[in-house]
Chains A and B, each alone.
Chain A
Amino acid sequence: MSADLRSKAAIAGVGLYGLGEAPGETHLEIMARAVNSALDEAGLSLRDVDGLFTSNMNNLLAGVSVAEYLGIVPKFTDATNFGGSAFVAFLQSATMAIASGMCDVALICYGSNQRTASGKLVSPVEPQPYEAPYGPRNPISAYALATARHMYQYGTTREQLAEVAVSMREWAKLNPDAFKRDPLSVEEVLNARMIADPLSVLDCCLVTDGGGAVVLVSPERAKSLPKTPVYMRGVGVAHTHKSIMEMPDLTVSPAAISGPRAFAMAGVGPQDIDIVELYDAFTINPILFMEDLGFCEKGKGGTFFSEGHSRPGGRLPVNTNGGGLSCAHPGMYGIFTIIEAVQQLRGEAGARQVRDCGIALVHGNGGTLASQATAILALER
């Protein structure tokens, strides 16, 4: 019964490092600095870590490489590469490991230097025989197909997609760690250079460096540690395809499965959520996810953003750090949804603090809308 995992783990520490540009540092170095930060605020050290949850696009055997770099021999390791949703998905396996007693201190961590190393999104190279002959650009071609279909089926407009980007920028303006903070208008997005219609360069997430880490322990242990515990109330993971060609319905992502799984475990619904932190790889993602997670009707995601509900002061803040579109996007974004949610819940978000924030939904996306992971984090157990 999935409800058995409800609140069986709590987040005791989070850390960020190198958001934006971290020149001269490797992806493992960036990751390790975030790890140090997270363990430090949790009042723990690497010697305490016995569960490792990590993934990246640099190491083929990511779990093994990261454990070696950190100098740990974990009792439990999960290095499943779901793409960017991996880190939210790790909340599931980390909670299972802690709840079953397989490990006591779970460390979720990630780091990337893609911006200063190559300036481009680092993607694994594997043969795509049914796509390659047609000249795709990964992953934007796939997201453009999903966006175009959503526009065709539901009348979503480029203006609404632009409103998503503008909303993210409004939050980034309040976040000193955000990479892009200058004002952004709908007109600018509409006039930006097109890459794959209907997506322009401003419909795409940033390419930055950055690292993050999250430390989970049992709820009892969390209460004895320095920071206010954030409970892992519910989590759900789902993947329905790898290639956009085999996505059952281009307008419905597997968030429509992971979301209900997470809500069921948590025992709450969309109406109970105070803030949403989700993986905005492209402007279509927040529209799809707000629909699939049940915050608005299918097809009405564009309206949700154009009516301003997600912005500072709106009734349902989305991506309070500026998201992948304006804050940071070091290749795999999932871990940053967790870290931002935790900082908001703890009241540590400074100028971008959302008042009366008790329950957050975090959502990660992987591949071409392929793998989705949703988690509910709360101050109340």
Chain B
Amino acid sequence: MIIIGSLLIAGCGGPGLFLPDAQLEALRAGQSGDSRTVYFSRHYRVLDDERLSQTTHRVLRVGTNARTSPDILSTPDGSMERLQGFQARVSRRDGSSDSYSRSDLSSVNLSSSAMIAETSVKFLNVRTSLEAGDLVEIVTTHEMGLLPLGIRFSLDQAGDRSTNIHCSFEVRTGDTLQILVANDSLRPSITRHAATTVYSLSWPSFKGHESRFVLDRTNGTPIVFASVGQGRSPLTWVAFGDWYLQMINPKISLSGAHEEMARKITAGLSTPREKMDAIFNYCQKSVRYEQVYLSQGEFIPNEVTTIFNRKFGDCKDYSVLIYAMAKGVGLEPNLALCFRGRGRQFFGDITVSQFNHMIVHFQDGGDHLWYDGTNRTGLPGLTTDDLTNAIALVLTENNSHLVEISESPDNRLILNGRLRSDGNSLKGNLSIELRYQYAIEFFWTTFRLGEQETRDALLRWLRRDISEAMHVTSLEWRTDGHRFLIELDCEFENALTTIDSNTYVKPSRVFDSLLPDLVIDKMDQVFYYPYYGRISANVVLEGLGQPAGIASDGGVDRFAWRFACDLDPGPFDEEERADFVAHYTEAANAFRQTIKLRTTKEKP
């Protein structure tokens, strides 16, 4: 549910610093092996149109097994969240306490060969060791830039098994705050002051979501989304899109030489789709993925000419380069924001802080095409399957809107082969074909790695996604357009059971990783399907016998095991969920059947 408040009354400032001694002392009660957060308060205060102050007040009770420094002794400091204030104290069981200020913090820059960023972690070195039952109280204030990105507060930030959690938002009179409390029925209490209004939420405790069911959503923790709109109007997707496009506009102009390159790449191509595909292919191959985050580079792309010249960048850089080159040849693409990673519930009303990735959208007639340069080996018009059915915010002047990224209907994992008996083992060859979005990660593997590491990666994939029981004796692979093909010779030990003159084979034991064995206890935990859902198998079993009533093929026992399923990847709404479970159950029952084969001739 979403609440929109239009603020008219002026009011108070932020919270005080340390807790009153009596309140702090009350938090000492109880003990645990782990160190636990026993008080967590986050207060957001709007400073002006672009800035936000975030004050975090936390108390940690040191656990009986404490051996390492608790995480709360560190706090980030960077261009996206600048540390403005710091105060801490350690309150000991014997009643003594030490106080600390910002000048007691040491610093470590997080830049590495993987990422160059203006981000540091500040560490508090406590003067004397922490003992079980000590309370560490820390108050930090950060200034956050780029207010239109919105605010996202997840209870994960308070920590697993934390207690006394509070979150509040203080906005100026005249501005509009939208709040959405996701995964919880809680509503904020509102306190109006003269110049501001404060929206507050509290939770007595929080238990993490770590033992979630594999089909359950990955963002099931209570999360508060908030955004601030100037004046009476809430911040809409349209308003956000206009703000962002205006901000990055100076960065996306192509030089003459680069425009010339775009024309050269698309020369001789007639349709807009062909031109988009060609620009995309050029950009994804020529630019390598690197993270260099200077001056809020986590959210603001580099200039297109810089990206073009140094040939590296992150998702935003790929996207603005594709976008600018496509514009340069007269096409009308759009930038689009989305979340890369499956199993996320999307909240359509609010806010942009739900996104972590940028791609390019292009509408070709009625078709929505997507271009994601970060894949380096992606297929034009398609995302990788970790964006399947995700919601993207397509950025268009005056018309930014949400569009679903559909799964390619051509995705499929095809398993064919021929296996024969060898004692109680099966031996033979298999071919595995992965099509369209299923193939992209394999294109990347072969593009990125040398032969030996590719072999290693494929063997691990076979073990994880086809059969843990399989011993591979030879392995070859190749790419063919939208397909990735694996050919292998292999053996499955202990695959057959022979009782009297019957041989029993259970494909789900042979291909024990192909379709996961899921026990679905609670329907509401089914949110998405993170495995290969579109599978076809046709494996010929030779020399094992024939099913009753079926004659052998010219004296040779030959039986073809066929299996197919088409499981939707989700995410599911209530109706789709029931359908999915029915389809999965049907597929799993077929997959787990034991095949009984009667020997048609005497064994030597």
Asked if A pairs with B, the answer is no
List residues of A whose CB falls within 8 A of some B CB. none
